[in-house]
Amino acid sequence: MGIRNIVARLWSVAAVLTLATGGVTLTAPAAAADSSQCPNGSFCVWEHSSYTGRFLHSGSSVANVGNDMNDRMTSYWNRTGKTVSVYEHSNYTGCMISVAPGRSEAAVASHFNDKMTSFRVGSGC
């Protein structure tokens, strides 16, 4: 086999690999919040981005989310119909964000990631 054939085969393999990896990236579906997991009337939080991982929901204020969700919120969905305030500390201290009704975030800003300890339904920061 001549050098020209080897080079041509290498370029063919590189082109196939480029198309294969590019296709995976382009066709990956966007994740969405699952309404069956987050009931209407609840504020829902997930441990990981794209509404995955540990999960907590409540239709009322929570002064301390407990060990399972403390400092673990990365995504949320507000289905309460009211503004929800998210706090860094227990007993509604250290307000980080106010979440409008119907709003969701698949990945919170890095300075809010994994910092929630309490949330209050029906009030803003």
Q: Which of 55, 52, 58, 53 is nearest to 40 (CA)?
A: 58
3-state helix, strand, coil in the chain (%, to 5): 20, 30, 50
Residue 86, burial from CB neighbour count under 10 angstroms (0-12, 13-18, 19+): buried
Task: Give per-residue pLDDT as tens, 55-106.
Answer: 999 999 999 999 999 999 999 999 999 999 999 999 999 999 999 999 999 9
Domain ranges of the chain: 43-121
Q: Which DSSP helix (H) or strand (E) runs through 56?
A: strand 52-58
pTM: 0.72
Question: Per mean pLDDT, which range of 3-7, 89-93, 105-109 is the poorest?
Answer: 3-7
For residue 72 the two structure tokens come to 């673990």
Residue 6: its pLDDT value, please?
47
Sheet of strand 75-78, all strands in order from the earlier edge strand to the far edge: 52-58, 43-48, 75-78, 104-105
**CATH classification for the domain delimited by 43-121, as one of 3.50.7.10, 3.90.78.10, 2.60.20.10, 3.30.530.20:** 2.60.20.10
